[in-house]
């Protein structure tokens, strides 16, 4: 606490009071009671007279010394202004997790894969291109690509061919900007047919690649 200014407003044989200005330009009063026989109640009585009906709020007090001491009170009238509590800061609301967006397609038939081939036809790339466009704005997390063949030919050859078809689709996706966090590439050969291998049309349906994209918008 520091006193910036002061002026005497009343004095007596054993008392002295003055208005003072505290740091921060806060107005206060100071009362001094001289002599060992002057009680603290005398100072408080004078303080109450100055404040009138307002309560006395003591800022500091000095006890008298043994000989010729002064009892001093610095006080304010009324209840000191309390700092206004700051409104709580609005906490940012957690964003809900973005929903996973599954997208699926199947490339099958002679228009997409010829017998014994893993190369993508123009019809196949057109279908894949539409899937990439539909995925704009999403973050691909897992892209599953499963390749299949018909039942023509040895099982091991069919397994390698189905895997090659799946990898052809993956290569096309990567080349066209579909960068997923994870690619799962598998070849199942002639397993899990979706049509009868007894007819040319059925075998064409079984020569396929199934794509599943799980991402977040």
Secondary structure (H, E, C), 41-57? HHHHHHHHHHHCCCCEE
Q: Computed from CA positions of residues 110, 150, 206, 161, in that sequence, does the dihedral angle turn out positive or negative?
A: negative
In this prediction the pTM is: 0.51
Q: What Rg do the C-alpha atoms of the chain give, in angstroms?
A: 46
Q: Is residue 112 domain-shared with residue 204, that is, in the same domain?
A: yes
The pLDDT of residue 4: 41
Does any domain span residue 83? Answer: no
Which residues face 212 on adjacent strands?
A: 104, 144
Query: Residue 175 pLDDT > 80, yes or no?
Result: yes
Per residue in 28-66, pLDDT tens?
A: 888 877 655 555 677 788 888 888 888 888 876 555 444
Place of tokens 């330009």: 25
Exposure letters 187-202 (e unless 16+ CB within 10 A, then b): bbbbeebeeeeeeeee
Final residue of a domain: which of 58, 77, 96?
Answer: 77
Q: Which one-letter DSSP state was computed for residue 116? A: T
Domain that holds residue 154: 104-215
Indicate if the pLDDT at residue 5 is higher than 50. Answer: no
Same domain assignment for residues 132 and 32:
no
* Same domain? 49 vs 131: no
Instruction: Say if residue 128's pLDDT is above 80.
Output: yes
In a domain, 29, yes or no: yes
């Amino acid at each position: 606490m520091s006193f910036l200014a002061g002026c005497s407003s009343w004095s007596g044989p054993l008392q002295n009071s003055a208005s003072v200005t505290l740091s921060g330009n806060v107005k206060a009063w100071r009362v001094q009671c001289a002599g060992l026989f002057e009680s603290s109640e005398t100072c408080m009585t004078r303080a109450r007279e100055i404040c009138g009906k307002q309560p006395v709020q003591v800022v500091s007090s000095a006890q008298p010394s043994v000989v010729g001491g002064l009892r001093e009170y610095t006080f304010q009238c009324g209840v000191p202004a309390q700092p206004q509590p700051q409104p709580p800061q609005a906490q940012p609301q957690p964003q809900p997790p973005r929903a996973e967006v599954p997208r699926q397609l199947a490339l099958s038939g002679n228009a997409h894969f010829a017998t014994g081939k893993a190369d993508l036809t123009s019809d196949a790339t057109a279908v894949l291109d539409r899937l990439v466009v539909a995925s704009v704005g999403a973050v691909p997390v897992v892209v599953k690509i499963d390749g299949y063949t018909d039942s023509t030919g040895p099982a091991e050859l069919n397994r390698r061919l189905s895997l090659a078809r799946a990898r052809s689709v993956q290569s096309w996706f990567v080349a066209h900007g579909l960068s997923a966090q994870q690619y799962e590439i598998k070849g199942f050969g002639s397993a899990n047919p979706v049509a009868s291998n007894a007819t040319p049309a059925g075998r064409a349906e079984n020569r396929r690649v199934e794509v599943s994209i799980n991402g977040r918008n």
